[in-house]
Amino acid sequence: MTTHYRNPALAVDVVWLARGKVLLVRRGRPPFRGRWALPGGFVEYRETVEAAVARELREETGLLARSVRLVGVYSGPDRDPRHPTTSVVFRMSGRVATPHGGDDAREAAWIPLADVEPLAFDHSVILRDALRQERRLRRRRA
């Protein structure tokens, strides 16, 4: 008899901060169609999370960047209304350029941190955590 496991989906998300702004995408599909979110998406079969985060960033914004640190791992049965999801979130850095929405992102833009509205999914929590992490790192360097 074969055992079938129901596992959460694995996703990646991008936090890219530059010059007091954060890179966001406006969702083109449900759930949260029309709301701003961090770039990201699902990890494909036989793909590493490191490869997936670079791919999703490129597909949704047209930008290239490298991961500089892990922000965290976010999990829970209610993070995504479609199904349980676990996200590995990376802080990214690279040449700042004008993003262009692609794939399931209707739009992509650098949004001033002061103007960020509540984000789709739990991305407001993720962004808050990334900003705290950034402040701690700056204090250590000072």
Rounded Cα distance between 115 and 4, Å, is: 45
Rounded Cα distance between 142 and 97, Å, is: 29
Rounded Cα distance between 89 and 54, Å, is: 12
Q: Do residues 17 and 24 make contact, with C-beta atoms less than 8 angstroms apart?
A: no
Identify whether 56 is a catalytic site residue. no
Out of 44, 50, 60, 107, the active site residue is 107
What is the radius of gyration, based on Cα positions, of the chain?
Answer: 15
Report residue 77 as tokens.
């049965």
3-state helix, strand, coil in the chain (%, to 5): 25, 35, 40
Report, as residue numbers or ranges, the catalytic residues.
107
